[in-house]
Amino acid sequence: MFELLKTDSHTKARLGKLTTAHGVVDTPIFMPVGTQASVKALDPRELLEMGTQIILSNTYHLNLRPGLDIIRAAGGLHNFMNWEKPILTDSGGFQVFSLAKIRKIKPHGVEFRSHIDGSLLFLGPKEAMEIQRVLGSDIAMVFDECPPHDAPAKEQRLAVERTIRWASECREQPRANGQKVFGIVQGGSNPALREECAQVLVEMEFDGYAIGGVSVGEPEPEMLKAIEFTEPFLPANKARYAMGLGTPAQMVELIARGVDMFDCVLPTRIARTGTAVTHTGAFGLKGGSYKVDFRPIEEGCDCFACKHFTRAYLRHLLNVNEILGLRMVSVHNSHLYLKVMTEARAAIAAGTFTEFHRNFIANYTPSQKILAQRKRETER
């Protein structure tokens, strides 16, 4: 499924090719997030124009709404949403542990109440794989337990044990035609747990490996460590996917640490509150300083938003709550995420990734929050 085309000689960055039932994906890659069968505010044409190769969608949400019967009747998720390229579906594990109210962990899954209407539901390895089979995603994720980053050691260990047991159950379930399945490594910030979880899952021979238990509220230094503790135990000939991450600078850091795949709601989520992201950092477009700024969001950007509209116009639209404003910032931000991947791939191919990495980080101003996290880490 995964072909490793090249490994950078100075970093762990990798150039690869992921072959799925709906086409080939170049890695490193970013997957725009279509939680409810729609990448928020964007249409499929816009996604294709910005170079989207694969999107992510979600078992938990689609199972609640519209419900599996409707997607089955449509002939699967690709048909339902009119998206012909690859789809990766998350298993719902993360949502059961983050969104659902009142949950009870049982041997073969989790009983929980829907965050929509409070109805009692059950999701476990068998259910999650059956839903993903019907969705017909190209890549299904195993059903895992994802504890909060500050969970006590005992809870982290239990989560790893369950994640492993459930992964082995997932492995045995029926799949859609050509559907691949990725394991998910948990273990929080405990190196021994990460190693153990990775090694057992690798023995099970999944089609690829995700690093979970990141993007769960932990500070950036801890996130980087979780990746570093896990990556050495993952096989070189399988794709590695860091779940739910990150900022553009974080993605570049993670590519340098051997990660191939990313997904993140950030580009579309911050767009809806008027924040644009560029190669040099993020900025709020609503501010008065853009009143008569007739430049595009980012100079030299060839996205639809930057080719057609100025900061002054988008600022106006955002301030008067016109949907076109958040649409166009969503276009720009998602395009930027994909563009950074294209640039990283080109740099790895050309043998200039070290320089690309250094320049990218030097030019990118992280958010105040991330800077504060780094400062605390340095002072420890």
Any idea which residues carry the catalytic annotation? Answer: 90, 263
292 binds a second copy (CB under 8 A): yes
- How far apart (Å, rounded) are the C-alpha atoms in residues 69 and 61? 14
Q: Is 66 helix (H, G, I), strand (E, B) or coil?
A: coil
User: By CB neighbour count within 10 A (0-12 exposed, 13-18 middle, 19+ buried), where does 73 fall?
Assistant: exposed
User: By CB neighbour count within 10 A (0-12 exposed, 13-18 middle, 19+ buried), where does 261 fall?
Assistant: buried
For the CA atoms of 329, 135, 139, 123, the dihedral, rounded to the nearest 10 degrees, stands at 100
- Helix 248-256 vs helix 220-230: crossing angle, to nearest 10: 30
316 binds a second copy (CB under 8 A): yes
302 binds a second copy (CB under 8 A): no
Q: Strands 208-211 and 109-113, how do they pair?
A: unpaired
- Specify the residue, 122 or 313, whose C-beta has the smaller distance to a second copy: 313
Output the smallest distance, CB 75 to a second copy, in A: 9
317 binds a second copy (CB under 8 A): yes
- Give Cβ neighbours of residue 185 (< 8 Å, ≥ 6 apart): 194, 197, 198, 201, 209, 210, 211, 212, 213, 230, 234
Site string for a second copy, 51-70 (x = CB under 8 A): ----------x---xx--xx
**Contact predicate 346/26, CB 8 Å:** no
- Specify the residue, 41 or 223, whose C-beta has the smaller distance to a second copy: 41
Output the smallest distance, CB 218 to a second copy, in A: 29
Question: Which of 81, 226, 285, 336: binder of a second copy (CB under 8 A)?
Answer: 81
Which range, of 9-17, 36-44, 167-175, 219-227, touches a second copy by CB under 8 A?
Answer: 36-44
- Specify the residue, 72 or 358, whose C-beta has the smaller distance to a second copy: 72
User: By CB neighbour count within 10 A (0-12 exposed, 13-18 middle, 19+ buried), where does 153 fall?
Assistant: exposed
114 binds a second copy (CB under 8 A): no
Which range, of 174-182, 239-247, 301-309, 348-356, touches a second copy by CB under 8 A?
Answer: 301-309
- Specify the residue, 84 or 205, whose C-beta has the smaller distance to a second copy: 84
Output the smallest distance, CB 98 to a second copy, in A: 18
Instruction: Quickly tell me which residue has 């762990």 as its tokens.
Output: 12
Question: Which of 313, 343, 367, 377: binder of a second copy (CB under 8 A)?
Answer: 313
The partner residues of 343 in beta bridges, in order of sequence, read: none
AA letter at 346 = A
- Specify the residue, 11 or 310, whose C-beta has the smaller distance to a second copy: 310
38 binds a second copy (CB under 8 A): yes
Which range, of 89-97, 165-173, 174-182, 311-319, touches a second copy by CB under 8 A?
Answer: 311-319
Instruction: Quickly tell me which residue has 């595009």 as its tokens.
Output: 296
- How far apart (Å, rounded) are the C-alpha atoms in residues 202 and 192? 15
82 binds a second copy (CB under 8 A): yes
The pair phi, psi for residue 235, each rounded to 5°, is -70, 145
74 binds a second copy (CB under 8 A): yes
Query: What residues from 340 to 369 belong to the interface with a second copy (CB under 8 A)?
Result: none
Site string for a second copy, 201-230 (x = CB under 8 A): ------------------------------
DSSP state of 75: T
Beginning with the edge strand found earlier in the chain, give each strand of the sheet holding 180-185 in spatial order. Answer: 29-31, 261-263, 239-242, 208-211, 180-185, 139-141, 87-90, 55-58
- Specify the residue, 43 or 355, whose C-beta has the smaller distance to a second copy: 43
Joined together, the tokens standing for residue 115 give 């965050």
Q: Encode burial over 288-326: b for 16+ CB neighbours within 10 A, e otherwise.
A: eebeebeebbbeebebbbbeebbbebbbbbbbeeeeebb
- Specify the residue, 168 or 310, whose C-beta has the smaller distance to a second copy: 310
Output the smallest distance, CB 319 to a second copy, in A: 7
Output the smallest distance, CB 45 to a second copy, in A: 8
Question: Which of 11, 319, 342, 367: binder of a second copy (CB under 8 A)?
Answer: 319
Interface residue list for a second copy (CB under 8 A): 36-38, 40-45, 61, 65-66, 69-70, 73-74, 80-82, 291-292, 294, 304, 308-310, 312-313, 315-317, 319-320, 322-328
